[in-house]
Amino acid sequence: MRQLAFPMIAAATLAACSAAPVAHAEGGAPTRTMTVTGNGEASGVPDIAVLSIGVETEAPTAKAALSQNAASMHATIEKLKARGVAEKDMQTQNLSVSPRYDYNTNGKPPRLIGYTATNTVSVKLRNLAEAGSIIDDAVSDGANSLGGISFGFNDPKPLMNDARKDAVKDAREKAELYASAAGVTLGPVLQIQDGYTAAPSPAPYMEMRAVAKADSTPIATGESTVSANVTIVYEIR
């Protein structure tokens, strides 16, 4: 499995006699501590896809370019709705109009030849089994640009919690290893700090799963990975 999660570098600090102790034992003696950082990951097959669908039109005037663009984008959005995409899952990302020039003028100033209107919408697809054919329908009804597809989870919490558990396990294993190597006994947990949990990100997978119909644009979901980081302070004796 190839995954986009950035590699994590484990860090551990053994404080035999900390100058800034976490707590004090009976009699006022500083509590000796060990601080370790654990990293965890969890992967799963995504159940949603997000992509950009755009319409680009050209016309002699800005008004005409916008008008043609609006008609094509309206048809595209209506087709997406007909295929079950909810309005809340569509959001305009970019709307622009820009002039077009002819620069092949034999040394003369560029000549204005028209305008280009661009409208891009972010679309969330929840039915990955039909994603390919939905995209095909959108293109057939006016859309002429696609890009930025990524995959994720409708409810990422279970996967994120699995990554956190893996991070805690990793920290514990490191702490036990360091304690054994240093000839000390690992005590109870004094503090746990959740460093971060990275949201699901697209992760190409060597054995991609093509979930679209065979006669439509193939969409390979692969797997997505979440990463978690935790810092734990243990007492050592």
pLDDT digits (tens, 9 = 90+) for 56-73: 999 999 999 999 999 999
Cα dihedral across residues 208, 211, 216, 219: positive or negative: negative
The Cα 12–Cα 177 span in angstroms is 11
Higher pLDDT, 135 or 216: 135
% pLDDT > 90, the chain: 67
CATH code of residue 56? 3.30.70.2970
Strands (E), the chain: 12-15, 33-44, 48-59, 90-102, 111-125, 145-152, 186-203, 223-236
Residue span of the structural domain in which 217 resides: 12-45+156-236
The predicted model gives 136-148 an average pLDDT of 88
pLDDT on residue 200? 56
Residues of the chain with pLDDT > 70, as a percent, come to: 81
Q: Which of 83, 117, 152 is the last residue of a domain?
A: 152
Of the candidates 109, 132, 152, which is a domain's last residue? 152
Looking at the structure, tell me whether residues 98 and 143 fall in a common domain: yes
Check residues 220 and 44 and name the one with the higher pLDDT.
Answer: 44
User: Does residue 67 sit in the same domain as residue 30?
Assistant: no
DSSP 8-state symbol, 6:
P
How many domains are contained in the chain?
Answer: 2
Within this chain, do residues 141 and 173 fall inside the same structural domain, yes or no?
Answer: no
Say yes or no: 63 and 88 in one domain. yes
CATH number of the domain where residue 179 is located: 3.30.110.170
Do 59 and 143 lie in one domain? The reply is: yes
The number of beta carbons lying within 10 Å of the beta carbon of residue 57 is 22
Question: CA 64, CA 55: separation in Å to the nearest integer?
Answer: 14
Based on the fold, state whether residues 67 and 139 are members of the same structural domain: yes
pLDDT band at 199 (very low <50, low <70, confident <90, very high): low
Residue in 196, 198, 201 with CA at minimum distance from that of residue 224: 201
Dihedral over alpha carbons 220, 225, 226, 231 (to 10 degrees) = -170
Q: How many CB atoms lie within 10 A of CB 200?
A: 25
Residue 81: inside a domain, yes or no?
yes
Q: 162 and 132 share a domain?
A: no
Does one domain contain both 187 and 221? yes
pLDDT for residue 13 = 43
Inside any domain, residue 139: yes
pLDDT of residue 6: 34
State the pTM of this model: 0.68
Query: What is the pLDDT confidence band of residue 99, given thresholds at 50, 70 and 90?
Result: very high
Highest mean pLDDT among 4-13, 70-79, 128-137, 202-211 belongs to: 70-79
pLDDT at 221: 85
Q: Over the chain, what is the mean pLDDT? A: 84
